[in-house]
């Protein structure tokens, strides 16, 4: 892992803004606890949201474009420094980008303080600004392999705009297109990053030896996911099921070659492997004809939420100069996220038990991410313990 050794006097005084992962990992996690707490209250008959805000849209939108996008942005803004050798975003620029993300999250919760369209405009700036910052480093060293994230962020911005259009015009088909399309695009990012880091981490921590990737399998993974996004936009149920089935099989075969069988003794590994596999399992549920929301929640809770928790737990240790040994309760938190996936899927299949299962899912999430904030919050707010920048 490359580190940029800036002189100490060039490091921001506030450690929280020395590298992108710090504010986005911490505050996205805190926000997810707040947002799911509010959602749990709503499901229990106690709404804390402004009456003008559609709660179903807010829940889906904020978990995807509020929580997931923030963590992915923090990860990529950190990783691009290692990939390109260019200094990462920090200080005032990072504070500004963080503010663009945070402001809409807060304004949505304040009754009628700011026009909805103005909040929308601010929110729609976040992903393009992040893409520009990533592109600047990538283009500067002509590292075109990592330019792939720029068009994905552009499409995510389009999906965000479609979800806003749907809620503004009361056309909830467009809301679903925007949110479900964004979930598959995020899954594509996870598939890209997972293919790079999960085999690498597994090889480093075990006796397993990484195999060379199969180019045709790699291409088919991303072509099938792109086809699934198109099928969601077209709202063709048969096409959705076929492309979901193909994606599921390809992603499972790809994951099978990553050494999952060697990971069981290392919590920072099995958490990544089992969270990742929730994506092809969710796609399989869609292919077999289960409601689209059931498969999507397998992806969002496990493939995105579980993967995010596992990845943040590892990245935060490494990038704060600590050994890769998570706090003692974190393996139980990883297991709670896997339980949350099961509960959320069952809630969509058994309507009579859905209220209890949904609230149980939320409790699992709150405990898991609450523990992350408790244990990792101080790490993210303090300078690296080895004295290095970042």
* pLDDT tens digits for range 12-25: 888 899 999 999 99
| Chain Cα centroid distance, residue 19 | 18
pLDDT beyond 80 at 2: no
CATH of domain 16-381: 1.20.210.10
Q: What is the mean pLDDT of the chain?
A: 93
Nearest CA to 148 out of 191, 87, 97 is that of 191
Q: Where are the alpha helices (DSSP H) in the chain?
A: 21-43, 55-61, 69-84, 91-107, 116-140, 149-169, 172-205, 215-234, 237-256, 267-287, 292-297, 307-318, 330-349, 354-381
- For the chain, the structural domain boundaries read 16-381
Computed over its alpha carbons, how large is the radius of gyration of the chain?
Answer: 20
pLDDT band, residue 185 (cuts 50/70/90)? very high
Among the listed ranges 10-19, 96-105, 147-156, 239-248, which one has the minimum average pLDDT value?
A: 10-19
pLDDT beyond 80 at 335: yes
Please name the residues in contact with 84: beta carbons below 8 A apart, sequence gap of 6 or more.
137, 138, 140, 141, 143, 146
Q: What's the predicted TM-score (pTM) here?
A: 0.94
pLDDT at 87: 85
Nearest CA to 348 out of 266, 272, 286 is that of 286
pLDDT band, residue 4 (cuts 50/70/90)? very low
Please name the residues in contact with 144: beta carbons below 8 A apart, sequence gap of 6 or more.
138
How many Å is the maximal CA-CA distance in the chain?
61
């Amino acid at each position: 892992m490359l580190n940029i050794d800036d002189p100490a006097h060039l490091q921001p005084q506030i450690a929280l803004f020395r590298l992108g992962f710090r504010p986005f990992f911490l505050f996205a996690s805190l926000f997810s606890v707040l947002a799911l707490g509010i959602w749990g209250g709503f499901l229990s008959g106690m709404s804390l949201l402004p009456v003008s805000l559609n709660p179903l849209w807010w829940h889906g939108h904020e978990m995807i474009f509020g929580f997931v996008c923030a963590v992915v942005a923090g990860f990529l803004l950190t990783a691009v420094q290692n990939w390109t050798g260019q200094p990462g975003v920090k200080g005032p620029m990072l504070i500004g980008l963080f503010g663009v993300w945070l402001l809409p999250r807060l304004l949505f919760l304040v009754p009628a303080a700011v026009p909805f369209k103005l909040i929308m405009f601010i929110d729609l700036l976040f992903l393009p600004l992040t893409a520009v910052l990533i592109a600047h480093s990538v283009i500067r060293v002509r590292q075109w392999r990592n330019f792939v994230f720029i068009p994905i962020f552009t499409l995510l911005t389009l999906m965000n705009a479609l979800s806003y259009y749907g809620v503004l015009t009361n056309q909830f088909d467009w809301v679903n297109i925007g949110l479900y399309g964004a979930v598959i695009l995020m899954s594509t990012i996870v598939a890209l990053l997972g293919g790079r880091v999960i085999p690498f981490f597994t090889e480093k921590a075990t006796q397993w030896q990484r195999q060379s990737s199969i180019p045709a399998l790699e291409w088919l993974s991303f072509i099938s996911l792109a086809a699934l996004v198109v099928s969601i936009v077209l709202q063709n149920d048969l096409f959705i099921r076929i492309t979901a089935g193909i994606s599921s099989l390809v992603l499972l075969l790809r994951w099978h070659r990553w050494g999952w069988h060697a990971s069981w003794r290392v919590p920072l590994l099995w958490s990544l492997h089992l969270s990742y596999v929730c994506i092809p399992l969710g796609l399989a549920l869609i292919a077999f004809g289960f409601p689209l929301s059931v498969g999507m929640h397998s992806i969002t809770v496990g493939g995105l939420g579980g993967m995010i928790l596992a990845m943040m737990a590892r990245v935060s240790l490494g990038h704060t100069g600590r050994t890769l040994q998570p706090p003692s309760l974190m393996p139980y938190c990883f297991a709670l996220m896997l339980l949350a996936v099961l509960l959320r899927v069952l809630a969509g299949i058994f309507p009579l038990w859905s209220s209890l299962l949904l609230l149980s899912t939320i409790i699992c999430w709150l405990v898991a991410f609450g523990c992350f904030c408790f244990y990792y919050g101080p790490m993210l707010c303090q300078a690296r313990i080895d004295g290095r920048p970042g």
